[in-house]
Structure formats: C-alpha cells, structure tokens
Amino acid sequence: MKIAAIKILAAFSVFVAFTLSAQAAQKPTNDDCLACHGDSTFSKEVNGKPVSLYVSSEKFNSSIHGSTFACVDCHSDIKSSMHEATPAKVKCSQCHADEQTVYDRSLHAKAIAAGNTSAAACIDCHGSPHELLPASDPKSKVNHTNIPATCGACHGLKFVMQTGGLTTQPFVAYQESVHGRAVAVGIMRSAVCPAFMVKPSLMETGRRRCARTVTAFMESSRETTRIRRCRA
C-alpha cells in the first residue's frame, strides 16, 4: 500500500514538473500580455510617481507592430506572463539597424549624448511603438501633412529649444513660408522639414543648412506676396 502511494506521488510530481516546465517554455501570447496591460488602470510606481503600463489593445492591434509581431518578439527577455523583474528596455536598433546608424549621426542623438534630455528620440517623432502607424496613414505622426506639427511639438516651443541653445525662429519661418502654407492646406508635394534634414550629411551640419533654408523660405514667401500684390 505504501509503495503504491509512493509511486503515485512520484508520478504526480513528475507530471507537475513537466507541466510547469512546458508552461515556462511557452512564451506568453499578445492576449496574455494584454490581460494585464490592457487595463487602463494598470501602473507601477517610479520615484514615488505612478507610471502607466497601459497598452490600448485596439490601437496596438491596428499598429504596424501589433498587426505583424508578437509582444515577445521585441520584449524577448519575457519568458512568462507573470514577470516580477522589470523587462529590459527595447531598442529600436534590434530591427532598425540602418535607421539607428543614421540617427546616431544626427543632431538629436548628439544633443542627447551631450546631456540634453529634451532632444528627440525615436518615439518622440514616430510615436509609441505600441501605436505606430505607417507613414501613409493620415493619423501617423510622420505622415507628410503631419510632419510640421510633429517637428513643431519641440521646435515650436521656446522653452524646449532654449535648453539646447536654439531658437524657434526656423519653425516659425517655415510655417509662414510658401511650403509651410501649402502643407497646411493639404498640398502633398510641398516640402517639409525632412526634405532638407534627413540625410546624415545634412544632419551633421543641420543648423547651418536650416538657417539657409529658412532664409530661402522667407525670401520665397516675400516674393510670392509681392507678385500677388502686383497682380492685384
């Protein structure tokens, strides 16, 4: 009787160990993650302040990442749904290595390296990776018509630009230029900021290039105004 009980207990122990091992080997699905992170009240405390851990399931599933990848494709250190340790911060360069190389040579990256925490990182321009939309989507932060507003979220704020010893004048001049006004009314072919700034060679000397571009914008705007007045 005792031997039989011991055998049963041993078999049960093996079964439990096998089940737990199988569960540990199976990484959580998106639905598993959203079971917690889909709760709008879900948060943690950092330095005495609540930080939201909420991810909108609707926006995530409609995003580039959510419609293509599993959460654990980016959060590769997550092995189970219940994780007490804070997951490692995901680096965009895991997939976007070429873009990261370009960014590393930019004024934004150099400003961050120099200690300016107000300078833009990937998510500041592209938006949350959990809500990222293709540039062709009118709601995307990097859609052609939205780029001036995206850049202006920093470059249009005096107190932000002053932290880097810069001015809002280039952005203000762009808004008043022929190009800025054309984009504002939906003309897709009109130039926006990246048309002058995105190449690494331009980004490294972006400030000087931007100054010349602004001058050209302002002269173009004045010339257009003069022509209109003459025709009137």
Write out the chain's pLDDT in tens, 232 residues.
Answer: 555 545 455 444 544 444 444 444 578 999 999 999 999 999 999 999 999 999 999 999 999 999 999 999 999 999 888 887 888 999 999 999 999 999 999 989 999 999 998 899 999 999 999 999 999 999 999 999 999 999 999 999 999 999 889 999 999 999 999 999 999 888 888 888 876 665 444 455 445 555 555 555 555 555 445 444 444 4
Burial 98-107 (b: 16+ CB within 10 A, else e): eeeeebeebb
C-alpha separations of 38 from 35, 57, 130, 152 in Å: 6, 6, 12, 31
pLDDT value at position 202?
45
SS3 content of the chain, % helix, strand, coil (to 5): 55, 5, 40
Of 159, 166, 156, whose CA–CA distance to 108 is shortest? 166
103 and 123 in contact (C-beta within 8 Å)? no
Q: Which amino acid is at 46?
A: V
